Amino acid sequence: MTTILGLSGSLRRGSFNAGLLRAAALTAPEGSRIEIGTIREVPLYDSDLEAEQGLPAAVVALQQSLKAADGLLLVTPEYNNGIPGVFKNAIDWMSRGEGLKHFVGKPVAVIGASPGGFGTIMAQNHWLPVLRTLRCAVWAEDRLLVSRASGLFDSEGELTDEKSRAALSGFIAGFVRSTSEKPD
């Protein structure tokens, strides 16, 4: 069973990106699953807090989920043409202590949804230097930018657009397939 850890970078209850992640979990191909993690309980990074109390329980849980996963799916909003601070903060915490080694070589894909016309192209691009620094294996065989999301999700934040669901399904199938392929 291939397991992908999926994280949404939005804390909003009706988040398009949380909805996109839930839809991704539903489209995971047979023999795979997307485990939906949460960054909600991750505090702002504070090295004094880390020195005094160690890693917060929410961070340790995310690190363990990442360690056990075959891949990582980041579902990113785009705020002011970049990475949401709360999402970057969670990844920064996850890379602390033993956490960094769980990123090294880990296949990672980035997708996102936005009410704007360009999807999350800038945020996805801004993740690249972070993921390179963490020495992840960034999957770049496909790209998924869900634009004009307000017309594609219902009032509960569920993806209802069939064209977007089909594109998401193909993207997830390709990413899952790549996590199980062994390099020559």
| pLDDT score at 145 | 96
Measured CA to CA, the distance from residue 120 to residue 98 in angstroms comes to 30
pLDDT over 70 percentage in the chain: 98
Measured CA to CA, the distance from residue 123 to residue 79 in angstroms comes to 8
Measured CA to CA, the distance from residue 24 to residue 169 in angstroms comes to 7
Mean pLDDT of the chain, nearest integer: 95
pTM of structure:
0.96
| pLDDT score at 124 | 97
Measured CA to CA, the distance from residue 84 to residue 55 in angstroms comes to 22
pLDDT digit string, tens, across residues 107-116: 999 999 999 9
Per 3-state DSSP, what percentage of the chain is helix, strand, and coil (rounded to 5)?
A: 45, 20, 35
Torsion of CA 129, 131, 134, 137, to 10 degrees: -130
Measured CA to CA, the distance from residue 73 to residue 65 in angstroms comes to 12
pLDDT digit string, tens, across residues 134-174: 999 999 999 999 999 999 999 888 999 999 999 999 999 99
pLDDT digit string, tens, across residues 12-58: 988 999 999 999 999 999 999 999 999 999 999 999 999 999 999 99
Tokens linked to 47: 């090295």
Q: Which CATH class is domain 2-180?
A: alpha beta
Q: How far is CA 26 from CA 30, 72, 173, in A?
A: 11, 16, 12
